[in-house]
Amino acid sequence: MILVTGGLGMIGAHTARALTDLGHAVVATAHRRTVRPAFLPDDVIVERLDVTDPAAVSALGDRYQITDIVHLAGSIPGEDRVAYFRADTAGLLTMLDAARAWRVRRFAVAGSLGSYLGCSEIPWQEDLALPTAPAPHPIIAFKKAVEPLTTNALQDSGIQAVVLRIGSTWGPLMDPATPFNPVPPYISTVLRGEHPAPVHADDGGDFCYAPDAGRAVALLITAETLSHDAYNISSGQPFTNRQLVNAVHAAIPHARLDLLDGRRNGPGPDPYLDISRLTTATGFTPAFDLTAAVTDYVAWRTHHDR
């Protein structure tokens, strides 16, 4: 059985769905968010769990034979950054302890494309040296720190560590007002019948639709063999705001959308993730281009708040 922590979050729920589609038994944990998504199959077991509670995590292992762990649980920073780092580090260390106690085969953990900030080479590839550029947000700082903590903690344990450098992911279950991705707020404005602020046509960057992200994670955790300990997860293609506006117009023909010429900050390409390593290891290719993703998301939002 595969354990997905944070299994009712956006990426976690789509990962659990993809794993069951591949024929695997899944137990998904939930802490703050407890509403079961409509797309999550009934055979996914959902357990309430605080991953910072070692006794509760140990008890979960007594109830289920856990073979692999996908650790996606995390919190949102408040004003006290140290409290955020303390809580999410405690959760990571508790799950690493559990992985070793249960002798799982593979432990995958959420990283971020933010680890590449400061890299001038585009697209961003896993073998680039990660710079020491300042992290603009506590989540990016923590997820960058997750990589050496996880790989070092599992060294010589017989457990394969897999760092998931997840791209700019959006889709069903994401907060429509999220500050972390521009697409859901933009579409939400349109769905409210409002006129979104004009965007620069040639701005853009990395994007990944959540069902594709979940399937990529599922393929990595279940692959027979993996040759690396870090994998980019995204679409492998950049998008532009011009493409976004065209996609929204296709899904919502009456939308009033304006484009500004060029780029907001001058010439130069926006960074995005290369997924060649992921594709070679698992055969993954995205099922959604931007137009298909926007169409699917608008249909989802017609019946769901998030």
Give 113's DSSP letter: G
Return the percentage of the chain with pLDDT > 90, whole number.
92
pLDDT greater than 90 at residue 306: no
Peptide bond before 123: cis, by omega within 30 degrees of 0?
A: yes
Write the CB contacts of 237 (distance below 8 Å, at least 6 apart in sequence): 272, 286, 289
Output the pLDDT for position 34.
Answer: 79
Residue of 159, 147, 69 whose CA lies nearest to 114: 147
Instruction: Quick: pLDDT tens for 4-19.
Output: 999 999 999 999 999 9
pLDDT greater than 80 at residue 33: no
pTM above 0.85, yes or no: yes
Q: Residue 187's pLDDT band (boundaries 50, 70, 90)?
A: very high
The token pair at 117 is 């900030």
User: Is 217 within 8 Å of 70 (Cβ atoms)?
Assistant: yes
Instruction: Quick: pLDDT tens for 79-124.
Output: 999 999 999 999 999 999 999 999 999 999 999 999 999 999 999 9
Instruction: Quick: pLDDT tens for 223-278.
Output: 999 999 999 999 999 999 999 999 999 999 999 999 999 999 877 789 999 999 99
Tell me whether residue 43 is exposed, middle or buried, using C-beta atoms within 10 angstroms of its C-beta: 0 to 12, 13 to 18, 19 or more.
exposed
- Residue 98: its H or E element: helix 81-102
The token pair at 29 is 């944990």
**Tally of residues, the chain:** 306
User: How many angstroms separate the CA atoms of 246 and 133, rounded?
Assistant: 35
Return the percentage of the chain with pLDDT > 70, whole number.
100
pLDDT greater than 80 at residue 46: yes
